[in-house]
Structure 1
Amino acid sequence: MILDNRNIKQLDGIRGLSILIVFFSHLGLGHLVPGGFGVTVFFFISGFLISKLLIYEFEQSKTLNFKNFYIRRAFRLYPALLFFSSLVILLLIFHDVRLIPSQIVAALMYFENYYYVYFINYQEQHQLYSIFKILWSLSIEEHYYLFYPLFLFLTYSRVRLHLVLTVLFLIIPLLFRLYYVEILVDPKLYEKYNYSLTHTRIDSILYGSLLAYLLFKDSRGEKILEFLQKKWLLVLSLAVLLFTFVYREDSFRETYRYTLQGIFLTPVIVFAVYGDQSLLNKLFFTNKVFVYIGKLSYSIYLFHWLAIPLATLYFTKFGLQWQLFVLAVTISLSLFSYYRVEMPFVKLRKKFGSNV
């Protein structure tokens, strides 16, 4: 396996497809489009890409520069997050909605997922408050990256220990999900816990990290890659993923679904990134349109959720005017954020070792 720190075009294409899944699900097609799966894919490829970059850094310098890593993360996420949060605050003020300081702190400190589950009931509040809810997934990612670089550093050369602990860390979130299903009983309640909390969803990122470690650090990486590229395994994986979409039993969906998706996404991602440049690959994973949308995916993810409750104040939800308004606001703010807010920080990120 060739290990480098270059951007992977196919992952941008996958991001593009994933954000479209999320967007159209929230645009009123949630009964047809599995929006939650789009977020799960984001988690997986985030774990894979960032772990690959950390492994490359370790191979080059025999250590990890934690300070530079977290500075890069801050320059990647905070510019858009601050812009997004500022707009939300202005919207709240404009619509004469009381600001909740603790909610703003939770948003900026990556605590929104726990704040949403334990401290606020958005259904009893003004709908503009719920804009911050979209930050639940960013909270999980940042909690994960507080832990994973240190874990990788401490176990990097001890492959067996690393793999044993990784399997343990993959099992623990599943056990939490099973526990919440058992004690909470109500599907609406345990879905809220199991879908949004760090300790119930962090395995979705770890599966991606495990793939990177197996391919680029484990001495059996080439054989593992060869196995994961078996066509029968790809067909099986697609069948299992399809099963997780169509089987609607509540307790399964909030427990084993995430585990199965994490496991069986692995051959699909390997096919997309390392498979031959088939027509399917060119149509989707390396398609210029999807790759471009993938580069905008972080901005789209944030600002489509700002557009939705704003549109609902003025138009009938899911109506044509509502959908056009959401589309226009999402595109406008996403492009402005990407080019005017986020891109100026790319050079600063590169000063601290970024090549993505």
Structure 2
Amino acid sequence: MQLDNKNIAQLDGIRGISILIVFFSHLGFGHLIPGGFGVTVFFFISGFLIAKLLMHELEESKTINFRNFYIRRAFRLYPALLFFVALIVSFLLLHKVKIIPSQIFAALFYFENYYYAYLIDYKEVHSLYLSFKILWSLSIEEHYYLFYPLFLYSTYSRVKLHTILSVILLITPLAIRLYNVEIYEEKGIYEKYNYALTHTRIDDIFYGSFLAFLLFKHNASESIFRFLTNRLVLLISLICLTATFIYRDDIFRETWRYTIQGICLAPLVTWAMYGGKSIVDQLFLSNRVFIYIGRLSYSIYLFHWLAIPLASLYFRRFGLEWQLFVFAVTIALSLFSYYKVEMPFVKLRKKFGSNVKVKIDEKNS
């Protein structure tokens, strides 16, 4: 398969569907819609895209410009994050709530997942502080960005070593999750640690990166592609993925579920990106509406979690008025953030090697 740094429209479609899963799950339909799976998909495709772009850079220049990479990440993530944090602080001050400096620090420097797990009980602070909790997943991604480019650069030319170390790195978080359920008897404790900490969930991102390596660098990449897009493999993956939603055992859900979902996503995402045109592709993945929502997904992900505690201050949780308020505020803030806060930084990102399009009506990555 040809390695390039072009945007993959289907991944924007997947992002769009994933953020809708997360959003409507939090809107009161969590008993029907697996919101956590939407985050798992985000992790997977983020890992795939980062690996694909970095491998292309390695093929073109034989190195990785780490400085430019981290500057691009900062310009991509920080504008919306700073706007998000500023809004929360403004609402806290408006409601005369005491500011917790350590919480702000955790949000801005991406250790909210450990802060939330070990250092704060959100039941004991004002409900507006819950807005910060959504940053747990972004913290994991940022930690991954610090680690993965160095790992890829060090092992890229040694396929066997990279493959062995990748398998070890994929198994280790599962082993830690299994260990946690053994030593922590209370479900609420091991559930929080296994769900939100970097060393227990980073494998979901790494599955995506390892897929990119297998498809574009591994010596048997063509055979791997044919295997992953085999109809029987796709069917088995879909069945196993569905089983992870149906089987409700607590220990399974906090251990093996994430591993099985990561494995099952590999053939399904490969087929979605490179399997050719299909009804699913035409109706959903390449649908302009879902692609557009996918481009707004980062903003929606942030601001829906601010809209929820705001709505809960004025309306009955999950009531119709509450849902309409959350929907309206999320859309308004997401659109403002995307067009007025994030897009002005596109040109700056291009100066440091990004292939993102300047015009807001074109595809970006």
Measured against the shorter chain, the TM-score band is over 0.9
> One-letter code of the match for 1:223?
S
Give, in whole Å, the separation in 2 of the partners of 1:40 and 1:18: 9
Alignment correspondent of 1:112: 112
Cα shift readout 1:83-142 (whole Å, capped 9, x = no counterpart): 000000001000111100000000000000000000000012111011000000000000
Aligned to 1:48: 48
**Structure 1: which 5+ residue stretches go unaligned?**
none
Amino acid at match of 1:126: H
- 2:362 paired residue number: none
CA displacement 1:135-155 (0-9 Å, x = unmatched): 000000000111000000000
Task: Tell me which residue corresponds to 2:37.
Answer: 37
Aligned-residue RMSD, C-alpha: 0.6
- Give the Cα–Cα distance (whole angstroms) in 2 for the partners of residues 265 and 5 of structure 1: 21
| 1:320 alignment partner in structure 2 | 320
- What is the match of residue 257 of structure 2? 257
How far apart, CA to CA, are the structure 2 residues paired with 1:167 and 1:222? Answer: 20
Q: Distance in 1 between matches of 2:280 and 2:148?
A: 33
1:158 counterpart letter in structure 2? R
Alignment map for 1:78-117 (pairs within 5 Å): 78-117=78-117
Q: Distance in 2 between matches of 1:313 and 1:125?
A: 14
Give the SS at the match of 2:3: coil
1:226-245 alignment to 2 at 5 Å?
Answer: 226-245=226-245
| Matched AA of 2:229 | Q
Q: How does 1:261-300 map to 2 (within 5 A)?
A: 261-300=261-300
Unaligned runs of 5+ in 2: 356-364
Q: What is the CA–CA distance in structure 2 between the aligned matches of 1:249 and 1:227, rounded to whole Å?
A: 31
Following TM superposition, by how much is the alpha carbon of 1:271 offset from its aligned partner in structure 2, in angstroms?
A: 1.1
State the one-letter code of the partner of 1:56.
H
In the alignment, structure 1 residue 145 sits paired with structure 2 residue 145: yes
Write the distance in 2 (CA, Å) between the matches of 1:167 and 1:97: 47
Query: Which residue of the partner structure matches residue 223 of structure 2?
Result: 223
Distance 1:26 1:207 in 2: 26
CA drift at 1:80: 0.2
Aligned length: 356
Give, as a single letter, the amino acid of the residue that structure 1 aligns with 2:335: L
Q: Deviations over 1:144-189 (max 9, x none)?
A: 1110000000000000000100000011101110111111111121
For 1:23, the equivalent position in structure 2 comes to 23
User: TM-score scaled by structure 2?
Assistant: 0.97
Q: Secondary structure at the match of 2:12?
A: helix
1:199-218 equivalent positions in 2, closer than 5 A: 199-218=199-218
Q: Which residue of 2 aligns with 1:14?
A: 14
Query: Following the alignment from structure 2 to structure 1, what is the Cα–Cα distance between the partners of residues 186 and 252?
Result: 13
What corresponds to 1:61 in structure 2? 61
**CA–CA separation in structure 1 for the residues paired with 2:160 and 2:38:** 32
Partner of 1:162: 162
Letter in 2 for 1:45: I
How many percent of aligned residue pairs carry the same amino acid? Answer: 70
User: 1:344, CA displacement in angstroms?
Assistant: 0.6
Task: State the SS of the aligned residue for 1:4.
Answer: coil
Superposed CA offset, 1:215-245 (max 9, x none): 1111211111111000111111110010000
Cα distance in 1 between the residues matched to 2:123 and 2:26? 17
CA distance in 2, matches of 1:298, 1:185: 35
Task: Return the alpha-carbon distance in structure 2 between the equivalents of residues 324 and 145 of structure 1.
Answer: 36
| In 2, Cα distance between equivalents of 1:58 and 1:219 | 17
Match of 2:358 in 1: none
User: 2:207 & 2:99 partners in 1: Cα distance?
Assistant: 38
Q: Deviations over 1:22-41 (max 9, x none)?
A: 00000000000000000000
The separation in 1 between residues aligned to 2:163 and 2:346, in whole angstroms, is 34
1:281-332 Cα deviation digits (max 9, x unpaired) = 1111111100000000000000000000000000000000000000000000
